[in-house]
Copies of this chain bind each other. A is one copy, B any other.
């Protein structure tokens, strides 16, 4: 059942390695997931990899055996290789000893059911994949319906975003859209758009949140464009007692999300 790869120049190795690069991921529509823990999260969410690549001589592991069985049952491929080749695929010298290849998910807005959750997270031009993954993780914690990525965000299928999400990339809804698509979609149904702002805003602990509440967070350096803020139904301020006037984007989103969670619970 298993296929073994022993050569660095094998085309499968070359293909898998290319998936570290966003351009190649988009072309192939596939992404890599490293480590048994994340693969188990995927499995628990009903996502089975197309391929699993593991280092030869790896100890037997119950979870891994089950995963192997499921991949085979779904018509996928189980590949063994050397630890060195696995490191070449992941680009890490101390590589996880198992990697899965998944098809990217549908990220159309139309796939979201806005009334299925009280909270939604929305990020605009969020460039740091760690922040993006952290927002997915926070979204999971507050029971959000999903994360909507507006304009030019980092790729949610990058290794760093997937890892920072701690598996939430598999459970949370995920959509990607330009602002020009998002706004008409939002206004075509119920939904309150909320942003943290310095302008014309109410204290975030006293604001009249309403479900489904869409919490909008802006770019790490620039914040939200003024025109986007102007479209919000509610602008809230958070206390800033120090020298700076802003928080890390993922932190601001989380503090606001927990406040909305408490208000709507």
A residues within 8 Å of B by Cβ? 41, 44-45, 130, 134, 137-143, 164, 166-168, 171-172, 205, 238-244, 246-248, 250-251, 254-255, 258, 261-262, 265
Contact = CB atoms under 8 A, between A and B. Distances in A.
Nearest to A259: B258
A251 to B, nearest CB: 4
Contacts of A254: 247-248, 251, 254-255
B239 A141 contact: yes
A244 B140 CA distance: 7
Nearest to A250: B251
Given A140-B241, A171-B243, 9 more contacts: A138-B251, A141-B241, A141-B246, A141-B247, A143-B241, A143-B242, A166-B246, A167-B243, A248-B254
A126 to B, nearest CB: 14
Nearest to A134: B248
8 contacts: A130-B130, A138-B251, A139-B242, A140-B244, A141-B242, A142-B242, A205-B262, A250-B251
Given A255-B254, A255-B258, A262-B205, A168 B243 contact: yes
A143 B248 CA distance: 15
A242 B168 contact: yes
Nearest to A240: B141
Contacts of A140: 241-244
B171 A242 contact: yes
A261 B204 CA distance: 13
A130 B62 CA distance: 35
A239 B261 CA distance: 9
By CB atoms of chain B within 10 A, which of A171, A172, A251, A261 has the most? A251
